[in-house]
Amino acid sequence: MEESEFKPEIIVDFREAFSIKLKLSELGSRVVEKSITPADYVLSENCAVERKTLKDFLRSIYDGRLFEQVERLAKAYEKPILIVEGYTLQGLENVENPKIFWGALARVLAEWGVSVIFTPDERGTALFLYSLAEKLQKESERRVLAKRKPRVYTLREKQLLILQGLPNIGPERAAKLLERFGTLRRVFQASERELLSVEGFGKKIVRQIREILDTKYPGLEEI
């Protein structure tokens, strides 16, 4: 018995198959049975798993249950995962309309950002759950740093960002302006003539810029 071995804790809905709980236990995780909704397994504070057999998956596409459940799962957890169990060639061949099957998968992924994993059987499901729980919980410490970067802009980025507030100016034209004039202040001093000489700037855009820069505030905006 190694003390150093890490034991992930997995919360399992009490209605889930016994064999999976057993397997998870054997693998070395602490299994906690609870009545949970909307998921079947909770692997970390923000990661939960819904498990469906292939057969149930297919049925639930048609009766709409799939999207309901997936929606609730996605709302409740940052990292929602769907496991489709019993994924075999045989099973797939029974799918009458592959287009609907793959379409549903795509929708789950695109619309709700749910990751989908296919396992052949309960053993595979358990192995995957265990591995994932282990990774998530081990690294939860490390993750503290890996969290959202506050995104601090450099001075250079700020300069570009301001110019992009002008109409029809994106990153590209913003860069052109700064390259040509050197500083923001000089860009804003530029005459219509000077602006026209910059690549990518024509009559129309220059006119708009001038309007914004030189219209008296508050502009007479009434209707």
Partner DNA sequence: ATAGCCGGGTGGTGA
Partner DNA sequence: TCACCACCCGGCTAT
d(CA 79, CA 45) in angstroms, rounded, equals 9
Report which of 74, 33, 34, 45 is spatially closest to residue 137, judged by C-alpha positions: 45
Q: x-or-dash pattern for DNA, window 158-197, by CB under 7 A?
A: ------x--xxxxxxxx-----------------------
Q: Does 138 bind DNA (CB under 7 A)?
A: no
Q: Does 167 bind a second copy (CB under 8 A)?
A: yes
**CA-to-CA separations, 36 to 32, 39, 41, 76, 141, in angstroms, rounded:** 11, 6, 8, 12, 25
- The H or E element spanning position 20 is helix 18-27
Q: Does 179 bind a second copy (CB under 8 A)?
A: yes
Report which of 162, 57, 189, 39 is spatially closest to residue 118, judged by C-alpha positions: 57
Q: What angle do CA 127, 128, 133 make, to 5 degrees?
A: 105
d(CA 129, CA 136) in angstroms, rounded, equals 10
Beta carbon nearer to a second copy, 34 or 156: 156
Q: Could you tell me which stretch among 12-20, 52-60, 69-77, 94-102 binds a second copy (CB under 8 A)?
A: 94-102
**CB 17 to DNA: min, Å:** 27
79 is written with which tokens?
């990292």
- List contacts with a second copy (CB under 8 A): 79, 81, 87-89, 92, 98-99, 102-103, 105-107, 109-111, 113, 115-118, 120, 123-124, 127-128, 130-132, 134-136, 139, 154-156, 158-159, 161-162, 164-167, 178-179, 182-185, 188-189, 211-219, 221-222
Contact residues: DNA, CB under 7 A: 46, 71, 74-75, 77-80, 112-113, 143, 147-148, 150, 164, 167-174, 198-206
